[in-house]
Amino acid sequence: MGDVFRALADESRRALLDRLNQASGQTLRELCAGLDMTRQSVSKHLAVLEEAGLVTTVRRGREKLHYLNAAPISDIAERWISRYDRRRVDALADLKKALEATPMSRPAFVYTTYIRTTPEQLWQGLTDPAFTRQYWGTAFETDWRPGSAMTWRLDRDDTEIADPEQVVLEAEPFTRLSYSWHSFTAEWAKAYDIDDEYRAKAAAEPRSKVTFEIEPKGDQVKLTVTHEGGDTVLEGVSQGWPELVASLKSLLETGKPL
């Protein structure tokens, strides 16, 4: 947390976070526009923010897109807000909410967190039904080979979601996993009490996909979740992924999901 506090202490870095809060997924060139800072200074500040986990980057061809990451703010809020006068930390709580609710200007939701585990255990947490049922209430029936079909089985009403376009896209054990998102079926909507209007809008968008990148960092593992899709789907997953990943983190670190 020391890195996060040091990163937030600088006015220029806070200004960059404000810019990303207004429009996430910006390139270095876009972030430099209109700022009274050199490109080199902006790069250095972004490096500090990325090292602190407040900014996550994703490569798109030759471009490097920068996204806000709410996880460190959430950790600070959970650790400190309960220990001090609530009125003194309202600004921090508001920032946490703003980061988690930031609309995406690019077709992706990006979220990064650090889990005290191993790449092997994290991979198991993402793929093994014995784990996914505990924090997700979902089991994936697949052999986890690129191109293989995936059947989603929800614990709610034992709902099955099967479709030829639900497939594994990439699978590099302990390093990278990607698959297409499930179909928005009537059975799925009934299991989660989703209204017909939202289901129709989500189903009308091109199928989205999620990618998990796993990177060892000392005695921890850096997990980056990138979800690419249409506005309706991203609006929904941007609320769900932080809670889901936090529950996975809790399961791997304590043995119990949230």
Start-end of H helices in 138-195:
186-191
* Low-confidence residues of the chain: pLDDT under 70: 74-107
What pLDDT, on a 0 to 100 scale, did the predictor assign at position 80?
61
DSSP classification of residue 141: E
pLDDT at position 94: 52
Q: Which pLDDT belongs to residue 7?
A: 86
> Cβ-count burial of 132 within 10 angstroms (0-12 exposed, 13-18 middle, 19+ buried)?
buried
pLDDT at 107: 56
Strand (E) or helix (H) holding 202: helix 196-204
| Spatial contact of 8 and 14, defined as CB atoms under 8 Å apart | yes
Per-residue pLDDT reduced to its tens digit, 158-200: 999 999 999 999 999 999 999 999 999 999 999 999 999 999 9
pTM: 0.69
* Residue 85: alpha-carbon gap to chain centroid: 30
DSSP the chain: -HHHHHHHT-HHHHHHHHHHHHSBSB-HHHHHTT-SS-HHHHHHHHHHHHHTTSEEEEEETTEEEEEE--HHHHHHHHHHGGGS-GGGGHHHHHHHHHHHTPPBSSSEEEEEEEESS-HHHHHHHHH-HHHHHHHTSEEEES---TT-B-EEEETGGGEEE--TT-BEEEEETTTEEEEEPPP--HHHHHHTT--HHHHHHHHHSPP-EEEEEEEEETTEEEEEEEEE--HHHHHHHHHHHHHHHHHHHHHHHHS---
Half-sphere exposure of residue 172, counting CA atoms within 13 Å on the CB side? 7
List for the chain the helix, strand, coil content (%; round to 5).
50, 25, 30
pLDDT of residue 89: 47
Residue 86 DSSP SS3? helix
